[in-house]
Structure 1
Amino acid sequence: MRELKIFSGQANRPLAKSICNFLHLPLAEITLGKFPDGENFCKIEEDIRGRDIFLVQPTCPPVNDNLMELLIMIDSCKRASAERITAVIPYFGYARQDRKDEGRVPITAKLVANLITRAGADRVLTMDLHSPQIQGFFDCPVDNLYAAPVLQEFASSLPFGEGERVVVSPDVGSIKRALGYAKRMGGKLAIVDKRRDNAMETRQEHIIGGPIEGKVAFMFDDMITTGGSICGAAARVHEAGAREIFVAATHGVLCGKAIEKIRDSKITTLAVCDTVPVPAEKRLPNLQVLSVAPLLAEAIKRIHHDQSISILFDKSDE
């Protein structure tokens, strides 16, 4: 069996270290930095010829820097004769533009997928893609894990009975996800009718289903970026009479004025996974960070041993 080595970019080293801890492996040595003109520099500090290499690097903000660093790491490993290179991308950036919804716009998700495969990645391991069809943009195998077991464990740990819960979909596109959680947790299903005014602004019109009054509302999403949609949905749910509102999302990107919006919102607790690092200045008292390191570590172990990882999808929200 070829030797397993895990390297980390600069985007989320704590997650890479946690994965290594679960696998009882040291984090492999790599030197990353920049030349004086801002170009990225990379040097693999270990012999990786014939090894099975996993590169942990979410393409979170600063997206362009982290993406370029990932591409350079892949190229470095390819030229150092690694046997197999798996790009572990817990959060896949540039995922929003996955189709041409108007004239003269790019399909950026496909472009980035091409860059990663052409750089030399033999496989991609990711989590909760914004659109599942992005898997088909890659010309290599893609394992898209779901954070549903981690988010489900958080929600189930709260001391509320089935009769007190209502699972709220923050928009029509999240109905399937919300329905999955409602079936597993128990409780009614409600949907917030979200209207998008432009790429940056949304508004919440009506609530379908329920009832919500006097209930504890749970909202699940794949990512929170500026916080506008989830905070708007929380405000509408609060107006409908929910006594507490819990939000759980896989990717806490939390850019722009997201922290201010969440701080001023009616959200009781917001839980996000550590696919994207949450710096200390963004850790509000009602913010919890859940780790997906055990899930990613198990997937890496199974991929390394050429075992099926289907069992990791059994609790998904699909």
Structure 2
Amino acid sequence: MKLFSGNANRALAEKIAGYLGLPLGESLVQRFPDGEVRLQLGESVRGNDVYVIQPTAPPVNENLMELLLYADALRRSSAGRINAVVPYFGYARQDKQSIGREPISAKLVADLIERAGYHRVIAIDLHAPQIQGFFNIPVDHLRSVRLFAEYIEREGLVDGSVVVSPDAGRAEEARRLSNLLGLPMAMLAKRRTGPTETEVTYVIGDVEGLRPLIIDDIVSTGGTIRRGVDALVAAGAKPEAVVMATHAVLVGPARSNLSHMGIERVVFTDTIALDAGEGYEILSTAPLLAQAIRAVHTHQSVSALI
């Protein structure tokens, strides 16, 4: 088994390699003066079971191209099996046609990954679970909800809390967290006012006098979170919200929105590289991904991790 890493999140790749007791494979990933990606493997991979660790986080297109070029280089170098470890799957929010005459970009990206030569994909918290069906190769869809449950228990935040889903799409994950912690659940009802804008209309469930534990998969601009906290506080919730999200995309006014006075803590995982000095608490997905890689390599079940 060999592990390789692109430039998207090398720190996470190094942690995964440490858990598996393996070095990262030697490779060169550079840019030509015109911006084209240049990739060269620095060691033989003939017959090996290879795992390329590369979230397609911003800059999405550059990181996606690195992922695709790795597959082509490995295939041409006679690797035995080529596996894409994509902790964050970009383009996942474009999983359907919202209006006419637009692409289903997530399906196109799935086709590109498959046609490039990958035999399997390992991902965490896909924005839309049906993306698994966009592939004709196996997809191991891992979930981070247990990491958040362990964090809440470890920090003593269970008593007096309510799990909150920011929308109907994340209700299933919120239900999983509420079951793990034995807590009540609430949900925010919202409507989309534009491609990247939403409006919270009301709160479903009782949040009076409770600390909101908001769980989401992606925080992009943070606007939904800010408006959700406003709605929760207006409904009587304590202004002590704990925001938990798997993928910290954080673009535009995200950091300003997350500094809302009603938010006490912000917790992310490390699927996307973050500066530890930003004040957010970061949970590592490296043990989860390392276990999944080991299970796939040894032909063991991944169901227990899912």
- TM-score normalised to structure 2 length: 0.97
Q: Please tell me whether the aligned partners of residues 192 and 208 of structure 1 are also in contact (alpha carbons under 8 angstroms).
A: yes
The equivalent of 2:19 in structure 1 is 22
State the Cα deviation string for residues 187-213 of structure 1 (Å, max 9, x = none): 222111112111121111211111x22
* Residue equivalent to 2:170: 174
The AA in structure 2 aligned to 1:170 is P
Q: Which amino acid aligns with 1:234?
A: V
Write the distance in 1 (CA, Å) between the matches of 2:156 and 2:145. 19
Q: Which of 24, 35, 40 is the matching residue for 2:37?
A: 40
Match of 2:304 in 1: 311
User: Are the aligned partners of 1:273 and 1:290 in contact in 2 as well (CA < 8 Å)?
Assistant: yes
Q: How does 1:239-278 map to 2 (within 5 A)?
A: 239-243=234-238, 244-278=240-274
Number of the residue aligned with 2:88: 91
Of the structure 1 ranges 179-188 and 127-136, higher mean CA displacement relative to structure 2 is found in: 179-188
Q: Deviations over 1:247-284 (max 9, x none)?
A: 1111111111101111234211010100001135xx43
Aligned residue type for 1:267: I
CA distance in 2, matches of 1:272, 1:206: 26
Greater shift, 230-239 or 48-57, is seen at 230-239
For 2:292 and 2:183, the matched residues in 1 are separated by 31
Correspondence 1:155 to 2:152:
yes
Q: Is residue 142 from structure 1 mapped to residue 149 from structure 2 by the alignment? A: no
Structure 1: which 5+ runs fail to align?
314-318
Alignment equivalent of 1:203, drawn from 195, 199, 202: 199
What residue number does 2:232 align with? 237
- In 1: Cα distance, 2:151 partner to 2:91 partner: 28
Structure 2 Cα separation of the partners of residues 222 and 28 of structure 1: 30
Aligned length: 305
Going from structure 1 to structure 2, the CA distance change for 1:173 and 1:265 (only over 3 Å counts) comes to farther
Unaligned runs of 5+ in 2: none
RMSD: 1.2
State the alpha-carbon separation in 2 of the partners of residues 48 and 96 from structure 1. Answer: 34
Find the partner of 2:281 among 285, 288, 300.
288
State the distance in 2 between where 1:79 and 1:51 align: 13
C-alpha distance in structure 1 between counterparts of 2:157 and 2:252, whole Å: 33
Deviates more, 1:51-60 or 1:167-176: 167-176
Q: Does residue 11 in structure 1 map to residue 32 in structure 2?
A: no
Judge conservation of contact 1:246–1:270 (CA < 8 Å) in 2: yes
Counterpart in the other structure of 1:297: 290
CA distance in 1, matches of 2:263, 2:150: 19
Partner of 2:184: 188
Cα 1:172–1:265 shift into 2, 3 Å: farther
Does the 8 Å contact 1:235/1:265 carry over to 2?
no
Amino acid across the alignment from 1:21: G
SS in 1 for 2:278: coil
> Is the aligned partner of 1:69 residue 2:66?
yes
1:152-174 deviation per Cα after TM superposition (whole angstroms, max 9, x unaligned): 11122222444x11111111222
Partner amino acid for 1:248?
A: M
| Other-structure match for 1:316 | none
State whether structure 2 residue 221 is matched by structure 1 residue 215.
no
In the alignment, which residue of structure 1 is the partner of 2:122? 125
After superposition, give the CA deviation of every residue in 1:106-162 in whole Å (9 maximum; x if it has no partner): 010010011011110011111110101101111211111111111111122222444
One-letter amino acid of the structure 1 residue matched with residue 194 of structure 2: N
Does the 8 Å CA contact 1:109/1:134 hold for their aligned counterparts?
yes
